[in-house]
Amino acid sequence: MSVTHLDSLDKIVSLSKSRGFIFQSSEIYGGLAAVYDYGPLGVELKRNIQSEWWKAMTQVQDNIVGLDAAIFMHPKVWEASGHVEGFNDPMIDDKQSKKRYRADMLIEQHILRIRDKGDTGKADQLQQLLNTTGTRKGLCEDLYDIIMAEEIKSPDSGAFDWTEVRQFNLMFKTHYGAVSKDDDDIIYLRPETAQGIFVNYKNVLDTARVQIPFGIAQIGKAFRNEVVARQFVFRMREFEQMEMQYFVEPGTDDEEYDKWLATRIEWHKALGIRGENLRVSPHPEDKLAHYARAAADIQYKYPIGWQEVEGIHNRTDFDLSRHSEFSGKKMEYFDQKDQKRYTPYVIETSVGLDRTTLMVLCDAYREEEVEGENRTVLKMHPKLAPTKAGIFPLIKKPELRELAKKIELDLRDDYTVMYDEAGSIGKRYRRQDEAGTPFCITVDFDGLEDNSVTIRYRDNMKQDRVSADQLASVIRDGIKSWKS
Ligand code: ATP
């Protein structure tokens, strides 16, 4: 059997559309750039990932509690957090096509092209220049100088006719209330979920009987007016984050940071992601965000290259101190045992749900040639699979349908299953392979005699004969014992 892994994002984009994982938003109107809708299979996959995260970050932890904060927040939150002033990307406009690009990304793509051509020395030299932007004249000016010196052309129009590089704030703004048009009434769509946790830190501390170290976990939408948003669900303008802020005593932060980084990599592996496709990329000290003392990306090898799926940050006491300063409310913690007072440090784990979904799809994708026939199969962990079992009568006959429908009904209580009687059995298997369904159950005439059915396994296509009464436990064991 020959196996091909994923080599381009286009294949996932087209499978996502044809099988109902992910659709372009408002497609019938030509689509809305960088916004996507999850279809029937996609929503199941996304929810399964979500519940794995929630379980790992709250249910099995005795000192992490959940939260669901609103998207709208008081505008002062974003002043305190530094987002109004500093949440910018450097952008540059192509004067001919009027398209806007992120200046640093244009340079990164240019470096990639040079590297692909084999000129590693030149690529390394440019990467070094890019890594040190902001240290010569200023960030925008340094980026502009590289684009000019390298004569980097516009990817779409091919023109070399650029504006200056300018900073562009990524927060979406709107007006709050029915009659407001004043600047005073400006409200932002949150660009990260973390601030909802910080402003509720005191509420949780006062009500949840937690003691430091403890964490608050949250899943929710975030919005960023990204300049470059052309990589499917990798970079969207509306996306979902799963974040956990872990409050620790200053001085223990380095150790907790290392612990969470290791814990989070294991979580990705437990999703069935192959270890060789995951790596950690620490941020160099001079590139740390304004709030961070240490930071690392957990990166996945997407078909577009190694890219961040999750960020682990040591945010120090920056956020709590700033909220204390801007709100006038105390954010300190009183340690009863040692009779001391301090503002906790925060270790943050922040993973994108959409990027995780994309990672799962990419990692699972295989094209296989089996005895002269091709199949596309998503070999994802069965616990994530949108449909756990496909149920088929061998042919369209009322007796077979009756038994198959009974099995469907029995399994529906515990599993998402799908009944299908259209087309040949081979076609039905292929459809479920493409959807990542780990088990297919076929009901034939022998089953009418002895209540047995055929169960076929997605990964190796082996078939077993089992009793219909055993199906729920066979599926449960198959999910538990799965290995990538
Ligand atoms: P990048 O450098 O790729 O823009 P970031 O460093 O700005 O990402 P964080 O602010 O650390 O990202 O956000 C935490 C996580 O949220 C990221 O690891 C990513 O998974 C997700 N995320 C951030 N921006 C987007 C986006 N525009 N679309 C989808 N997911 C995103």
Nearest residue (CA) to ligand 1, atom 19: 352
Query: What is the reported pLDDT for 441?
Result: 98
Are 416 and 456 contained in the same domain? yes
Query: What is the reported pLDDT for 318?
Result: 95
Distance 266 CA to ligand 1 centre (A): 20
CATH number, domain with residue 30: 3.30.930.10
Distance 457 CA to ligand 1 centre (A): 36
Are 128 and 62 contained in the same domain? no
Distance 352 CA to ligand 1 centre (A): 6
Nearest residue (CA) to ligand 1, atom 4: 235
Indicate which atom in ligand 1 lies nearest the CA of residue 350: 14
| 3 state SS for the chain | CEEEECCCHHHHHHHHHHHCCEEECCHHHCCCCCCEEECHHHHHHHHHHHHHHHHHHHHCCCCEEEECCCCECCHHHHHHCCHHHHCEEEEEEECCCCCEEEHHHHHHHHHHHHHHCCCHHHHHHHHHHHHCCCCCCCHHHHHHHHHHHHCCCCCCCCCCCECCCEEEECCCEEECCCCCCCHHHEEEECCCCHHHHHHCHHHHHHHCCCCCCEEEEEEEEEECCCCCCCCHHHCCCEEEEEEEEEEECCCCHHHHHHHHHHHHHHHHHHCCCCHHHEEEEECCHHHCCCCCCEEEEEEEEECCEEEEEEEEEEEECHHHHHHHHHHCCCCCEEECCCCEEECCEEEEEEEEHHHHHHHHHHHHEEEEEECCEEEEEECCCCCCCCCCEEEEECCCCHHHHHHHHHHHHHHHCCCCEEECCCCCHHHHHHHHHHHCCCEEEEECHHHHHHCEEEEEECCCCCEEEEEHHHHHHHHHHHHHCCCC
Residue 377 lies in a domain: no
Query: What is the reported pLDDT for 132?
Result: 85
Are 59 and 126 contained in the same domain? no
Q: Low-confidence residues of the chain, pLDDT below 50?
A: none
Which amino acids bring their CB within 6 angstroms of ligand 1? Answer: 192, 224, 226, 235-236, 239, 241, 308-311, 350-352, 354-355
What are 345-381's pLDDT values in tens digits? 999 999 999 999 999 999 999 999 988 888 999 999 9
Nearest residue (CA) to ligand 1, atom 3: 308
Distance 413 CA to ligand 1 centre (A): 37
Query: What is the reported pLDDT for 273?
Result: 97
Query: What is the reported pLDDT for 182?
Result: 60
Distance 319 CA to ligand 1 centre (A): 19
Residue 376 lies in a domain: no
User: pTM for this one?
Assistant: 0.89
Full domain range(s) for residue 264: 2-72+189-361
Question: Domains in the chain: how many in total?
Answer: 3
